[in-house]
Amino acid sequence: MNRLAKLIAPAIAASLVLGAAVPASAASWQGRDSYRQEIAQLDRQIDRAQERRLISQREADRLERKVDQLQNLHARYAKNGLTRTEERILDQRIDSVKRQIAAEVADRDRAPQGRPGDHRR
């Protein structure tokens, strides 16, 4: 891994984590649409990490399944309005996926092609 990549990878990982640092519990104060927005943001973070080759295809697929499960759970809960218990469950699961994304980015288990510009495999 070249010197620039060694400097950039931790910065990207930190920005992904810090971008998701707003607690999910704040979502209940902003209304039900904020859950949809948070879940969509998770999906975008996974896509960005994969595009930057910070995570492998397999890691991205697994994380995408988690996001799909969150979307389905939210849709099921939102039909009759969210109870405090359902909000707490959504908050916990969103936070869990955020931590999983950060862990996968930080584990340096990258896509097989490596980082752009890195010619080693």
Residue-range domain boundaries for the chain:
3-106
CA distance from start to end of the chain: 10
Q: Which two tokens stand for residue 107?
A: 């584990």
| pLDDT by residue, tens only, the chain of 121 residues | 566 555 566 666 656 554 554 444 444 444 567 999 999 999 999 999 999 999 999 999 999 999 999 999 999 999 988 999 999 999 999 999 999 999 999 987 666 654 444 433 3
Nearest-angstrom CA–CA distance, 49 and 54:
5
This model's pTM is above 0.85: no
- Closest of 116, 118, 120 to residue 50, by C-alpha: 116
Ranges of beta strands (E only) in 29-91 are none
d(CA 121, CA 27): 42
